A and B are shown apart, each in its own frame.
Chain A
Amino acid sequence: MLELVHFQVLSAALFSIGIFGVLARRSAVLVLISIEIMLTAVNVNLVGIAAFSDQAAGVRVFGQILVVFIITIAAAEIGLALAIVLRVFRNRGSANVDELNVMKW
């Protein structure tokens, strides 16, 4: 029997994999990919809770609508962030996050 906790544990696993990627990777593109994994983890959680919630109150549809918004914002974020990474690479010749230390105090 499929239960809500299955979705939640999968979501937690994806989120912590994303956190590891964000903290450990050097390339800015890989950091952004890891952020996408974290956003997907949130989507899995929302869809799971929506699937198990009370359908009479219309909560089920609201959960899915929130996921639509998250997917849209994620698409906008990755487009803009990759453009910034591209510009940084052109200006400084590197897209590694630990070499971008001009603002380090």
Chain B
Amino acid sequence: MTAQLVVFYLLGAATVLSSLGVVLTRNVVHAAFMLLVALLAVAGIFLVAVAEFLALAQILIYGGAVTVVVLFAIMLTRTDDQPRADHSQRLLAMLAAIGVFGLLVVAFVVSDVASLESATGVATDSETGFENLALGLFTDWAIPFEMVSLVLLVALIGAIMLARNVEGGE
């Protein structure tokens, strides 16, 4: 139990620090790589919460696909002059973020969702393993699953249509 908590704190600190790095660094490429670190640490947190499939999906989709796409976008939208990275409304944004954080923490502590359930702590065996997830995904949630695959297909075809160079082709 204590080891679980220590691992959670380490991964949580890595997540929060690298996310802060993403929003505070001046270098755009550094921001993309720190996003990769943050998302991989979140995959570790999924493992602590016994969500093995989600941890694998997080590593494959975010570590593999999303970071590469973001890096390509940064490369293609680069301008020679590096202007300041932030608005002038930076202080206001910081106040808004701190306000939302305080509100959310107060809401979570006051609502105390954990006491409503028959919470017995995080499962240690394969109660939430691949088998149950697949069973739920392809029985009760089969139609939403097919819909979301269609959404993904349409979005990616739309992205290709938008990004290709019309003047050069055709």
Which A residues contact B (CB, under 8 angstroms)? 1-21, 23-30, 32-34, 36-37, 40, 43-44, 47-55, 58, 60-62, 64-65, 67-69, 71-80, 82-87, 89, 93-96, 98
Contact = CB atoms under 8 A, between A and B. Distances in A.
Interface of B: 1, 4-5, 8, 12, 15-16, 19-20, 22-23, 28, 31-32, 35, 38-39, 42, 45-46, 48-51, 53-54, 57-58, 61-62, 65-66, 69-70, 72-74, 76-77, 79, 83-87, 89-90, 92-94, 96-98, 100-101, 104-105, 108-109, 113-114, 117-119, 121-123, 127-128, 132-133, 135-137, 141, 144-145, 148-149, 151-152, 155-156, 158-160, 162-163
Contacts, number: 251
Q: Classify the interface of chain B: helix, strand, loop or mixed.
A: helix
B89 A23 contact: yes
A86 B137 CA distance: 35
Given A14-B16, A60-B128, A72-B152, A4 B123 contact: no
Q: Classify the interface of chain A: helix, strand, loop or mixed.
A: helix
